Amino acid sequence: MEFLTDYGLFLAKTVTFVVAVLAIVTVIVSAAHRKQDSDDPDGELHLKRLNEGYKRLKENLQQKLMGESDRKAWLKGRKKAKKAEAKAKKKAAKDGETGDEPESPRVFVIDFNGDIKASDNDSLRKAVTAVLSVAEPERDEVVIRLESGGGLVHAYGLAAAQLDRIRAKKIPLTACVDKVAASGGYMMACVADRIIASPFAVLGSIGVVAQLPNFHRLLKKNDVDFEVLTAGEHKRTLTVFGENTDKGRQKFLEDLEDTHVLFKDYVSERRPSVDIQAVANGDIWFGRRALDVHLIDEVKTSDEYLIEACDRAEVVSVSFRRKRTLPEKLGLAASAAIEHSVWKLLSTLRHRNIQ
């Protein structure tokens, strides 16, 4: 037991020292990096060629399934084929034939992982802007890999509007849903020309919900007054601390209903095959059931769709990532160090208890 106490004290001192050093370094370098951060406010554009990734995965498995002699022969043949390909490209460039070859179609893949505030909105906006600057309507396609259970109406309305920009440019848009696209998530998905979902993906929830606690009776019981002063009859309908009225509730419900009507109209305009009265009740459907009510067009995972796309086009994942500042990096490093130290201490204590 004495060993554990000494070890715990030593570990606590070490962690405190590391955190203190990192905090001092963070303060010193923060000012130096402010200008650098302001020079690049949009972050970095990241491209990942999925064709090459799937090809490498296939080749790695092929190699592992081969015997030693077959692997050597295969690698030798692959090296020879690459040399011949490079030589042919060089000759074509020398003869001026490169410009005569038609460009292959491209599939641009954008990922959106939505929380209640649709925090990926900024990255989505930049990715869509970048893609639209190079995409050709008659040749290219955009795929949105979408995962979201919905959230704030105005935030998801903006996210859906970003996808509407692609549709307005007459560029085919496909939405792939592997897990969930419900409520605001489905508002985004319905913009696409085609919606593809995995067999048990959750879709729908075409409804509107709002909820808030009210502490008026608790405050009244404790003789605490709370006043809400407004200019405008409907400036505040329901409050958290004030006394809510039937008139205020009625107005709030009318606003919810109006939002629901806008939601239904939005889906109907983009998916006219959907019986909106049958599906706009807030219910959800799993992938196969969603196909029956025309909420989606095909049951398939995003992996299946993109692997098939690699056979007919160049598939490129496009994303924007904000550069982390040095203080942020140091903060993450400190958090990781603390988490590791705590985990190590708990593991040691657990091991001692087992013994």
- Tokens representing 172 are 């085919």
Q: Give Cα separations from 312 to 9, 52, 111, 129, 333 (angstroms).
A: 62, 14, 21, 24, 43
Going by DSSP bridges, is the β-strand pair 106-113/314-321 parallel, antiparallel, or unpaired? parallel
- Torsion over CA: 345, 351, 354, 355 (sign): negative
Cα dihedral sign, 321-322-323-328: negative
302: annotated active-site residue:
no
Sign of the Cα torsion 183, 185, 187, 193 reads: negative
Bridge partner residues of 108 (DSSP): 142, 316
End-to-end CA distance of the chain: 12
3-state secondary structure of 313: coil
Distance (Å, whole) CA 232 – CA 283: 36
How many angstroms separate the CA atoms of 264 and 280, rounded? Answer: 7
CB within 8 A of 196, min separation 6: which ones?
Answer: 174, 175, 176, 177, 296, 297, 298, 299, 300, 302, 305
Q: Please, which residues have CB within 8 angstroms of residue 221's CB and are 6 or more apart in sequence?
A: none
Residue 219 has a CB neighbour count (10 Å cut-off) of: 15
Neighbouring CB atoms inside 10 A of 210's CB total: 11
- The catalytically annotated residue of 148, 183, 302, 317 is 183
The answer to whether 76 is a known catalytic residue is no
Distance CA 249, CA 237 (A): 7
Q: Rounded to whole angstroms, how far apart are CA atoms 296 and 202?
A: 11
Rounded to whole angstroms, the Cα distance separating 348 from 158 reads 50
β-strand 298-299 against 194-197: which pairing, if any? parallel
Q: Are 198 and 300 in contact (CB under 8 A)?
A: yes
Active site residues: 183, 235
